Amino acid sequence: MPSPWQVECLLIRMDSLRNEILRVKNKDRPYTETDIVYDSLVAVIKSRHDMVTKAQKLYAAKGTLIPQSVFNHRAKDLETIFKFFSYTDRVDSPRIPFEVLRSLSWVANDLFGEKCYAVVRLEPEYNYAILSCRREFERNGWGQYWQYAPEEDTRASGSSDRKAAPNVLLLGFPSPDAGSTLVHALAAHEFGHEFAHKWNDDLTEVREQVVSEVKSFYNTVLQDYTSGIFRRQEGESQDDVSEKARKYLLALIESISSSWLKEIFSDLAAARLVGPAFLAAFDRIIIGHGKGSEKYPPASLRRSLVRRYLEKLLPQVISDPTWAQLFDNSALVDLPSDELFRVMQQVFDGVIDKLIPILNRIPSPLTRLKANELSDLLETMEEHIDNLAPPSVPLSVGDKLPDTEKFWLLVFVAWHYRLSDRFDELRRLCGDDTDSARAEEILGNLLLHSLQSLELRARWHEAMNQKRSNVH
Amino acid sequence: MSIIPTKTAADPYAALSWTASVVAILLEKIGLAATLDGARQRELNLNLTPDREECNALSALSEEMSLLSEASKLSGRDLFMANASPLRSELRESFSTLVAIERDFYPPADRPNFEKTGKELEVIRDHIESGDLGSLQPEILADAQQACLELLEHLDNHRPSLSVH
């Protein structure tokens, strides 16, 4: 059992962490979107602090100490809260491209039909990630604490009614790519995870089919696999061990199927939004991380599924030779050494058709335009880039393509330009035809300018329409 | 989620461990209420009336125990039969929790009796709802308390994991 001193140490650490969160919240920052996260974390700490104090008093009244396991779990809670806080304590680096955040929030609000804030942090690992803070709170069992601090809430709404707390999407960017707007194509994959969460019931049905198919390999391949999972312990019969191993295998199949399905669904969702540009940005991040794991399918499987999906969805786009280099991945084929992974890979290879009805609910700017319209628009927008003009200029707001979908169209065009011969000209224009990074930065700036311009024009257009309808 | 694997903060058992902790403390409260008279409670400034969060946690843990019990009765052999139905969605998470906990149990006779604990928690809840904690059998309280702490120990010490080895 923990000594009173250990309990006091735990309580002091809770206080210190709460004070640090409040310090970060109250310091001068360029934006306050993360306030909701700080307020909610403080509320979680308070609940843990209250529990330990209450338990200390109760057990002392009985003349005993807090049970070790209760104490350990609160210490673990504190670690988790601290880790969560570490995601949001440095979201104010001047290197973060703040300009894109409003546009990303605008697109997210439209896609998910709820108020979302987009915030960027610099990732310590070379990775691009998104964390739906509210969902992460729910996963940790803290869902009830996702709210503004009561005093802020009252002040903001002018009444004692609590206003609905918006979600915060925390986008992690690899530090060296902080300025790379092109890599934001990966936001399409990360938004795919939000769709996967929204349509969880439909994906569960697909997962059940996948699990059932994997299980059908049990008698031929996987029965032997179970024999190596557990060693027999004293007092256990061979039947007990086999039974335990079979249950373990099923739990593992369920877990892998669930994770892989969400990743693959998100990849295909991204392909709907930005076409092959998703793979271009994916390749930028995935180097050296393609083997696959319990949580992630092998990169070769992901590429192959995206390609096949695009062949079905956008045959006219994928036949464009500019994208061909993305599909030449013969050197990157991963052959899993694990029997279970081999079976999973085989089953998931046929998953596209099961996902298509769900994916069709996601808007796709690339399918909304006819092939010749898309190709003409692409040409015009690329000419603008050639002349260092933002490619958003030829896009009119309020036409048949919804404005938020133009966000993804711009990302698609920017990547097409990056992979085409035209980019060589841009490199030469920079004065150093070997410096791709510099030319990419220019291309990224044009893209960024376009995304901002599009969002501002769309909001203005919307406001004007609202004004007109009020007059009439 | 991220494009490549990364360390995340989520503890898959955080919610269950919180619920079990709240219940363990509630049961401690009930035990104290039975042993300390009103004057002593006031002297120690103790409020031993179950609050709403504790009652909700008691119901939630009782349901979880029933699901763990149901999951523990499933036969691994049957689950791999060609005509086996998929696990019900509410049972799936509990099945994973059970498998993770059971990895460390041998012999099987030492496994926790989730069904018994679930029923005991239900009895305690009924006594709270009827305002009749005085007639609650102390053995039921002691058994349920022990089971909660054991569950917390397993969730903590063994840090259940389904990672591929």
Residues in B closer than 8 angstroms to A250, CB to CB, are 76, 79-80, 95, 99
**Which chain A residues in 128-187 lie under 8 Å from chain B, judged by CB atoms?**
128-131, 136, 139-141, 172, 186
Each residue of B11-22: pLDDT tens digit?
778 899 999 999
Residue A25 has pLDDT above 80, yes or no: yes
Enumerate the residues of chain B whose CB falls inside 8 A of the CB of residue A59: 28
pLDDT one-digit tens code per residue, A243-257:
888 888 899 899 999
Query: Which residue from B154, B121, B118 is spatially nearest to B27, judged by alpha carbons?
Result: B121
Contact (CB<8Å) A248/B103: yes
Report chain A's mean pLDDT, rounded to a whole number. Answer: 86
Determine whether the interchain pair B152/A141 forms a contact, defined as Cβ–Cβ distance below 8 Å.
no
Q: Residues of A numbered 100-129 whose beta carbons fall under 8 angstroms of chain B's beta carbons: which are they?
A: 123, 125, 127-129
Nearest residue on chain A to B15, judged by CA atoms? A141
> A295 CB near a chain B CB, below 8 Å?
yes
B146 touches chain A (CB under 8 A): no
Output the pLDDT for position A333.
Answer: 54
Q: Is B76 on the interface with A (CB under 8 A)?
A: yes
3-state secondary structure of A325: helix
A210 token code pair: 């996948």
Which residues fall within 8 angstroms of residue A144, CB to CB, at 6 or more apart? none
**Whether B162 contacts B96, CB under 8 Å:** yes
pLDDT at B146: 93
- Does residue A242 belong to the interface with chain B, where contact is any CB pair within 8 Å? yes
pLDDT tens-digit profile of A297-328?
988 889 899 999 999 999 999 999 999 988 87
CA distance B52 to chain A (A): 14
pLDDT at A226 exceeding the cut of 60: yes
pLDDT greater than 80 at residue A29: no
| pLDDT of A216 higher than 90 | no
Interface of A with B in 22-61 (CB under 8 A): 51, 54-55, 57-59, 61
At A354 the pLDDT is 96
Judge: B156–A136 Cβ closer than 8 Å, yes or no.
no
Instruction: Determine the Cα–Cα distance for residues B45 and B36; give it in Å rounded to an integer.
Output: 12
Paired strand residues for A174: A123
Condensed to tens digits (0 to 9), the pLDDT of residues B59-75 reads 999 999 999 999 988 88
Q: Other CB atoms closer than 10 Å to residue B154's CB: what's the count?
A: 22
The reported pLDDT for the residue numbered A270 is: 96
Instruction: List phi, psi (to 5°) of A88.
Output: -115, 5
Rounded Cα distance, B138 and B34, in Å: 9
Burial profile A317-343: b = 16 or more Cβ within 10 angstroms, e = fewer: bbebebbeebbebeeeeeebeeebbeb
Residues of B (104-123) whose Cβ lies below 8 Å from A:
106-108
Interface residue B164 vs chain A (CB under 8 A): yes
Per-residue burial over A356-382, b if 16 or more Cβ lie within 10 Å, else e, is eebbeebbbbbeebeeeebeebbeebb
Stretch (H or E) spanning A132 = strand A129-132
Burial, A294: exposed, middle or buried (Cβ in 10 Å; 0-12, 13-18, 19+)?
Answer: middle
Q: Closest CB to A254: pick one of B3, B6, B92.
A: B92
Q: Position of tokens 């269950």?
A: B16
Whether A338 shows a pLDDT value over 80: the answer reads no
Give the C-alpha separation, A259 to A293, whole Å. 10
Peptide bond into A97 cis (omega under 30): no
Per-residue pLDDT tens over the stretch A72-106: 999 999 999 998 998 887 776 666 767 788 888 89
Give me A254's structure tokens: 């369920």
Three-state secondary-structure class, residue A120: strand
Kindly identify which residue of chain B lies nearest to residue A235, measuring between CA atoms: B107
User: Is the pLDDT confidence value at A405 over 90?
Assistant: yes
**pLDDT mean over A36-49:** 95
Cα separation, A101 vs A104, whole angstroms: 5
CA distance A96 to A108: 19
Residue B19: its pLDDT value, please?
95
The dihedral sign for the CA sequence B114, B117, B123, B128: negative
Please give chain B's pLDDT, 165 residues, in tens.
565 555 455 677 889 999 999 999 999 999 999 888 888 888 888 889 999 999 999 999 999 999 999 998 888 888 888 778 888 888 988 998 888 887 766 555 567 889 999 999 999 999 999 988 888 899 999 999 999 998 998 887 554 443 333
Residues 6+ apart with CB under 8 A from A455: A102, A103, A106, A407
DSSP A369-412: S-HHHHHHHHHHHHHHHHTT--TTTTPPTTSSS-HHHHHHHHHH
> Is A95 an interface residue toward B (CB < 8 Å)?
no
A218 compared with B144, residue with greater pLDDT: B144
And the tokens for A265? Answer: 């669904």
